[in-house]
Structure 1
C-alpha cells in the first residue's frame, strides 16, 4: 500500500466525491411533490424550483462520477506525477462542492458554469496526464 501513499489527496478526493454524491442523492428528494413532478417522478424543468435544482445537482454529479473516477484511478495506477494527480483531484472536488452549493442554493448560472468548467478541465487534465504517462 506504500505505493499509493503519494496519492493520498487523490484517494481522499475519491472518498469525498462518494460522500458528496450520497448527500446530494438524499437532498435531491427534498421538496418533491405531486404538483412539481413529471410522470417519470422527476421534478419538472424549472430552475426557479429548488427541488428541480437539487435533482439537477445530483444528476450532474452522477454524470461526472465516471470520468472523474476513471481519470483519477488511471493516473494513480499508471504512476503519473503524484503532485499533479493530487492537485487535479483536489481542485475537482472543491469545485464540484462549490458547484453543488451554488446549484442548490441559487439560480446563478454563470457561477455554476464557472465551477463546472473548473471541474471539467481538471478531469480533462487528469486524463491527459494519465495517457501521456502511459505512452
Structure 2
C-alpha cells in the first residue's frame, strides 16, 4: 500500500509522539516536597500550574491509544485520505490548544472544548476506519 496520500496523518502521529514527550518533561518541573503526595505526584489543586501540567500530560497519555489506533486503522483500511489527514491534523491542533489552556489557565470551558474537538476527531477516524473495512 502506498502511504503518500496519508502524509499529514502520519506526520500527526509523529507530532503527537513529540507533544506527549514534551508534556512529560514539562510535567516534572516545579515539583517540591510541599506540593507532592506520598506517591510523588502533585497534590490535587487546579490553582497550581504544577498540578495542571501533570494533568495535561496524563490526559495526553490517556488519549494516545485511541488516537493512534483510530488513525492507523483509518490509514490501513484506506479511508478517504483527505478526511483522514484533516482529522488527524485537527486533533493535533486541538490537543496543542488544550495543553496550552490546561497548563496556563484554569479555564475549564476552553479545556473541555479542546478535549471535545479532539475526541470528535478520534471518533470520526474510528468510524471511517470501520466503514472502510467493510
Shared topology, TM-score over 0.5? yes
| Residue 38 of structure 1 pairs with residue 37 of structure 2 | yes
Aligned residues between the structures: 134
C-alpha distance in 2, partners of 1:127/1:42?
33
Q: CA deviation at 1:49?
A: 0.4
Q: What residue in structure 1 maps to residue 122 of structure 2?
A: 123
| Residue 89 of structure 1 pairs with residue 94 of structure 2 | no
Q: Which runs of 5+ in 1 are unaligned?
A: none
C-alpha distance in 2, partners of 1:16/1:73?
14
- Length-normalised TM-score, structure 2: 0.98
C-alpha distance in 2, partners of 1:65/1:134?
22
Q: What residue in structure 2 maps to residue 99 of structure 1?
A: 98
| Residue 54 of structure 1 pairs with residue 68 of structure 2 | no
Match of 1:7, SS? Answer: helix
Match of 1:48, SS? Answer: coil
Q: CA deviation at 1:103?
A: 0.4
Q: What residue in structure 2 maps to residue 108 of structure 1?
A: 107
Q: What residue in structure 2 maps to residue 80 of structure 1?
A: 79
Q: CA deviation at 1:86?
A: 0.4
Q: What residue in structure 2 maps to residue 26 of structure 1?
A: 25
Q: CA deviation at 1:106?
A: 0.5
Match of 2:3, SS? Answer: helix
Q: CA deviation at 1:76?
A: 0.4
Moved over 4 A (4+): none
Quote the RMSD (CA, aligned, Å): 0.7
Q: Which runs of 5+ in 2 are unaligned?
A: none
C-alpha distance in 1, partners of 2:76/2:107?
38
Cα displacement string for residues 51-92 of structure 1 (whole angstroms, at most 9, x for unaligned residues): 000000000000000000000000001111001110110000
